[in-house]
Every structure is written in structure tokens, then in C-alpha cells.
Structure 1
Amino acid sequence: MGRAFEYRRAAKEKRWDKMSKVFPKLAKTITVAAKEGGSDPEMNAKLRTAIANAKAQNMPKDNIDAAIKRASGKDGVFSEVTYEGKASYGVLIFIECTTDNTTRTVANIKSYFNKTPGSSMLTNGSLEFMFSRKSVFEIDKKDIDDLAIQTESLELNLIDYGLQELESIQTQEGEILVIYGDYTDFGKLNDGLESLKIPIKKASLKRIANTPINLSVEQLSEIEKLLDKIEDDDDVQAVYTNIN
């Protein structure tokens, strides 16, 4: 399981290292957030989070400002759509897209599955009970240490804002605390962290598999080929699987 986890993590980091793909995806997220809740980050928690995530990826301020401005123009009309599919070894795949042309997007997604043996798209709703939608926030442990906040105290404080689980993950950069809550409590958890003056490293709505599966490194290598094709698509914002 350790080898498989490290392989998956390394492969994912390699994919997201392609900045030419990352910036357009981040820009779309910002534009959609501004379109939905207004262009003032102070009044739009979703936009604040999108901007924070973009800054964490070193996206230039000019790009961020342009993405916000785009929300008020004709080219700011995007649709958020989802697609579902399956692959070999019992792998389930949930795909979130932001697009200005759904015909193009669905045709591309279908082609990735059709060209991969053992894979196929599923009717939307097929995976409804296989994934739980969660609010996920990442913060640096050193930030709460600097604020003299104990982890136990942080948990107690955030329960009132919708905290369901707090997980500690050790990375090369240091310890990261991951906060989970129901997707409907995204705004509340964001406000809770801001009220405690804790910097948010990353925040998003994720779909987490209810029954994760383990694959061998060889099986992961095979599945990664399909996931790479999907994630490299300009319209794809996020891809979730039931791989542990």
C-alpha cells in the first residue's frame, strides 16, 4: 500500500506541475466564483478561496484580476458539468468540468474512455452514493503553533463551524492539518478559520470515496494513463477516484 500511495502521489504532483494547464483551470474557477457571487472577495467566500488557491500555485496577480474581470464579460459564460465513468480493477471515476462548450467537453471525455480498454462512461447519478461531497481545508501546523493554538483547541473551536474530522499529514515541507466538513458547511468553515486568523493553505470541495480500493503499482500505472488524459483536458477541473 505504501508503494502504491507514493506512486500515485508522485504521478499526481508531476501532472499538476504543468503550469500551462494549471493556470487556465484556476482562472476558470475564479471566473465562475465571481460570476456566481460577485467580484468582491470580501463578500464572496468562494471567490476568496479561489484566489487563495491560485496564489498558492504562484498564479500572477494580473492573471487573477483578468479572471475576475472576465466574469462580467460575454466570455465569462461557463457551465459546470460532471461526468462519471469506470475503469479496470473496479476503479470508479468522477469528473468535474467547467466549460463554454459542453458538446466539445463530453465528446472529449467519451473519447478518453472509449480508447481505454475496460473503461466506459456511466449515466450521471450512477456514482451518487459511492462518493461523499466534502469541504476540505489545508492549513500549516506551524501557523497554528505560531498563534499558540493547540490542535485540540482548534478542533473544539471548529466543531461549531461544521468540522467533522481533522487529519494530520506529514509532507516534505512540514506537517499539514486537513480539515473535513460537509460540503454545505464550506462557507462556515472558511469563516471559522478566518475568525481564528489562521491562513488557509488550500481549500476546495472534494468528492471522497466511501469505499476506497487498493491497487498494485502495476495496476496504478495502467489506470494513470487514462487519468492523465482526462486531467490534461483544458475543461477538466478535478478528477476523483475510489483508489485508496
Structure 2
Amino acid sequence: MGRAFEYRKAAKMKRWGNMSKVFPKLGKIITMAAKEGGTDPDMNPRLRTAILNAKAENMPKDNIEAAIKRATAKDTAAMLEVNFEAKAPHGVLLFIECATDNNTRTVANVKSTVNKNGGEVLTNGSLEFMFSRKAVFEFDKTDDMDLEELELELIDSGLEEIEEEEGVVLVTADYTDFGNLQNAFEKLGIQLKKAELQRIANTPIELTDKQLESVNKMIDRLEDDEDIQHIFTNIA
């Protein structure tokens, strides 16, 4: 069982208790994708992926459609994607991805939360070599699916690793091959459950339960901020 699988399971368990926070964040990504490439998912791969991931989190259809409509509304503010890198207590590193319509507000909120919880916001680029950016795809294994054969089919599209656990298949690749693999899955008729770009720590660290509790307080407070989309850490 690889680290990507472990990361996915841990992240999913955490999200189950935070759906009220998750849906507005997913809606932002859908609106941004529709505003950038159009409201037709068939003609807009980024929107198609955003809808796919929203459905994977059981986001209601009405919410998805409302998020798409917001992209064409005259009063919808322009959204900006910004990242922050930070250090938390006990050697924990954080890579924070945001989507915001007010960068000044987001910068102030992130810095305040990190500083108040014993951390420090770092200069962007400080953690460049501490995380690997990966394209991660998830789908159900069917009875007639031969994973060894599928691996050979996908290697030319950039596949690095393929794993299966409890009937769920996870494929990882370099982030630059996201589009290539997405196209390959469509050609093969494989229905994806999720397609994401993740940052996976190159050298994960172990924490005691007490240390983990203190770090999670910071992460939970950051995740309360609707502007923050994803938080990646180097916690094993």
C-alpha cells in the first residue's frame, strides 16, 4: 500500500466531518473553471474535472449547477489562485493552496492563523523540493479489468504507479501528465471517480499523538477559511 493511498484515505476521513466547508470550496473551483474555459463541461476539461471531484464528495446537483451559473453572472468577482508555504510546530511543513476574490484578506488571514498557532509563513519557493506535485486518478476496478494490461496501456501517457485496494484503483503520475492521462482514460472508457493534483511529501515525518493534536488545531483553523482549498503536509 503506497503513501498516495494512505494520503487519500486520511484526507477522505477528515473531509467526511467537514462537508459544510467542502461544498463552498468545491463551488469556487467550479465557478473558476467555468469562467476561464466556458460553461460546457464537454468543451472544458478543467470544468469537467471540477464537476467530477464535486460529485465524488456528494455535492448536490443543484449546487453544481448554481456554481456554473455564477461564472456568467455580472456581479461575480474575479477569482485568483494563490499559494502559501509555512512551517508549523514539530517540523511540520504546510503547502496551502487558495482561491480568493480578495488577496489582501487571504494573505492577512493565513498569516494571522499560522502565527497565532506557533507557526511561520515562509517565502514562496522555500518548500519547492520538499513536495512532489503529482496527478492522482481514482476509479473502481471492474471484473474484466486487467491491471497489468492497463498499466502497459497507460505508461506512454505518463503513468508512474498503479495500485488497487478494496476494489479502488489509484493511478499516480507527474503533474505535467495530468491531461495526457485524463485523455487516455476517456479513450479507454474508464469512468473516473476523482482526478486531482496533489503535493506529496518527499520525506514524511512521524509525530506523537500529542504533537499531531497541536498541529491539527492549526490545520483545522486554516480549513475554516473558505478561501483555502487544500492543505498538504509532510506528516506521514
Aligned to 1:137: 137
Aligned to 2:203: 211
- C-alpha separation between the residues in 2 aligned to 1:71 and 1:175? 36
How large is the RMSD of aligned CA atoms in angstroms?
2.0
Aligned to 2:156: 160
Query: 1:26 is paired with a residue of what secondary structure?
Result: helix
Gaps in structure 1 of 5+ consecutive residues: none
Aligned to 1:92: 93
- C-alpha separation between the residues in 1 aligned to 2:77 and 2:63? 14
Provide Cα deviations, 1:82-139, integer angstroms capped at 9, x if missing partner.
Answer: 001001221100000000011111111111111112x111011111111111111111
Whether contact under 8 Å (1:16, 1:22) holds in the other structure is no
- C-alpha separation between the residues in 2 aligned to 1:217 and 1:207? 23
Instruction: Point out the more displaced range, 101-110 or 210-219.
Output: 210-219
Provide Cα deviations, 1:121-178, integer angstroms capped at 9, x if missing partner.
Answer: 101111111111111111122xx32xx120101111111211111123x4xxx33221
Aligned to 1:231: 223
Q: TM-score if structure 1 supplies the norm length?
A: 0.88
| Closer/same/farther in 2, CA of residues 12 and 120 from structure 1, 3 Å limit | farther
| Closer/same/farther in 2, CA of residues 157 and 198 from structure 1, 3 Å limit | same
- C-alpha separation between the residues in 1 aligned to 2:79 and 2:189? 33
Q: TM-score if structure 2 supplies the norm length?
A: 0.91
- C-alpha separation between the residues in 1 aligned to 2:77 and 2:188? 34
Query: 2:195 is paired with a residue of what secondary structure?
Result: strand
Query: 2:167 is paired with a residue of what secondary structure?
Result: strand
Aligned length, in residue pairs: 230
Among 188, 191, 194, the residue aligned to 1:196: 188
- C-alpha separation between the residues in 2 aligned to 1:187 and 1:99? 25
| Closer/same/farther in 2, CA of residues 81 and 11 from structure 1, 3 Å limit | closer
Whether contact under 8 Å (1:31, 1:76) holds in the other structure is no
State the AA in 2 paired with 1:210.
N
- C-alpha separation between the residues in 2 aligned to 1:212 and 1:10? 14
Whether contact under 8 Å (1:39, 1:68) holds in the other structure is yes
Whether contact under 8 Å (1:71, 1:77) holds in the other structure is no
Q: Which runs of 4+ in 1 moved over 6 A?
A: none
Aligned residues: percent identity? 61
| Closer/same/farther in 2, CA of residues 40 and 93 from structure 1, 3 Å limit | same
Aligned to 1:184: 176
Quote how far apart the aligned CAs of 1:14 are.
4.0
- C-alpha separation between the residues in 1 aligned to 2:58 and 2:12? 18
Query: 1:75 is paired with a residue of what secondary structure?
Result: coil
Whether contact under 8 Å (1:163, 1:179) holds in the other structure is yes
- C-alpha separation between the residues in 2 aligned to 1:14 and 1:212? 19
Aligned to 1:77: 78
Quote how far apart the aligned CAs of 1:10 are.
6.1
| Closer/same/farther in 2, CA of residues 98 and 183 from structure 1, 3 Å limit | same
Whether contact under 8 Å (2:41, 2:48) holds in the other structure is yes
| Closer/same/farther in 2, CA of residues 184 and 89 from structure 1, 3 Å limit | same
Whether contact under 8 Å (1:15, 1:228) holds in the other structure is no
